[in-house]
């Protein structure tokens, strides 16, 4: 999914980000000038799923990509 790859790329490049920072960065990277509630919810749901799948980890409120 494009959102998932965008999240992983942005988090790797920025060495982590909060959920809100990640939402805004992915939204901009996908070409949106503003983030609607619907888009925000979609990105947040992908963050939740990626955390559940242990692709993303949360360290004190900062998300990063789990590197094995």
Q: Is the pLDDT of residue 68 over 90?
A: no
Spatial distance between the Cα atoms of 4 and 2, rounded to a whole number of angstroms: 5
Average confidence score pLDDT of the chain: 95
Neighbours of 28 (CB within 10 A): 14
pTM of the predicted model, to two decimals?
0.92
Q: Which residues contact 68 (CB under 8 A, 6 or more apart)?
A: none
Tokens at 16, concatenated: 């982590």
Indicate the domain borders of the chain. 2-62
Identify the band that residue 56 occupies on the pLDDT scale cut at 50, 70 and 90: very high
Each residue of 35-54: pLDDT tens digit?
999 999 999 999 999 999 99
């Amino acid at each position: 999914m494009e959102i998932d790859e965008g999240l992983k790329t942005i988090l790797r490049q920025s060495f982590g980000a909060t959920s809100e920072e990640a939402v805004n960065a992915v939204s901009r990277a996908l070409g949106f000038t503003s983030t609607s509630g619907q888009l925000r919810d979609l990105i947040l749901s992908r963050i939740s799923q990626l955390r559940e799948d242990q692709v993303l980890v949360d360290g004190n409120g900062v998300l990063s990509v789990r590197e094995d």
